[in-house]
Amino acid sequence: MTIKALEMLFLEVDNLEESIDFYSTGLGFKVDQHKPEHDPPMTTLSAGRLRLTIAQRPNLMSKRGKGIYFFLTVEDVDEFYEFLVAGGIEVFDPPQDGGWGGRFFAVVDPNGYRLFFVTWYTDGPYLDDPGPPDELGLKD
């Protein structure tokens, strides 16, 4: 049995509304469910086949996954970089070629989670069936 894709992430966040805005307005995720009355308040978003659930972090919880890096495949990393920069998202460096099989750049969300956007080389790791291009969350 092998892992084929990263399909869902669950993140505890410091500010739910700020995080919803970052992922939906900034990165183009679609809001699927918003449950502010839930304990803790949470929202589920999606981009293609990837589901992201973000939950307001209870004040008494101190551990989080800030040391985890998320690699998200995009069809054209240079085009997606320009899209984010034009939308006002802060990006550390322009896309660069990695020695590990892809071209990438990174952003940090409002909670300190590092998100790497990557276009894999044909000889690098990639999904056998990544789905149609319109499922990557890149459409206007």
Residues recorded for the chain = 140
**Residue 68: its pLDDT value, please?**
66
The reported pTM is: 0.62
Q: Are 50 and 95 in contact (CB under 8 A)?
A: no
Per run of 10 residues, the mean pLDDT along the chain (length 140 residues) is: 57 91 96 92 90 79 55 88 93 86 89 85 52 42
What are the boundaries of each domain within the chain?
A: 8-135
Q: What is the pLDDT of residue 102?
A: 83
CATH architecture of 8-135: Roll (3.10)
Confidence at residue 14, expressed as pLDDT on a 0 to 100 scale: 86
